[in-house]
Amino acid sequence: MIETVIPRRIGFKSVLVLILTVSIGLLLLSKPFMSAGMPKEWSIFLATGISTSLGLSLVLLKIEGPVTNSSIKKKRLLVGIIVSIAISFVMAFIVK
C-alpha cells in the first residue's frame, strides 16, 4: 500500500478521538490560561490549538494507518499543526 500525506479515508474512531481531544483540551486548558491573565479569545485559541494539534497528530500518525516513512510522518505532523492553528483561529476569533 502506498503511504500518502493525507489518508484516503478517515474513520469514525478518528473523528471521535479528535472531538474528545479537543473537548477535553478546552475544558482543561482554557481556565488556567484565563487565570494567568489572558483574554478569553486568546485562551480559547491556545487551548484549541494545543488540543487539536495533539488530536490530529494522534489520528494522522497512529490511528489512520501507522506510517514507516519518516518524511511522510513529518509532513503529516506539519499538516496537523497547520490545520489545528486554522481550526483554533476560526473557533476563537471568527465564530462568536
pLDDT in tens, 30-86: 999 999 999 988 998 999 999 999 998 888 888 877 778 888 888 888 988 998 899
Residue 87 carries which side chain, given as an amino acid letter?
I
Q: Specify the pLDDT at position 1.
A: 55
Q: In angstroms, how far is the first alpha carbon of the chain from the final one? A: 43
Q: What is the CA radius of gyration of the chain?
A: 14
| Four-residue CA torsion sign, 4, 64, 50, 46 | positive
| pLDDT tier, 8 (very low <50, low <70, confident <90, very high otherwise) | low
* Helix (H/G/I), strand (E/B), else coil: 41: helix
Residue 89 carries which side chain, given as an amino acid letter?
F
Q: Are 10 and 59 in contact (CB under 8 A)?
A: yes
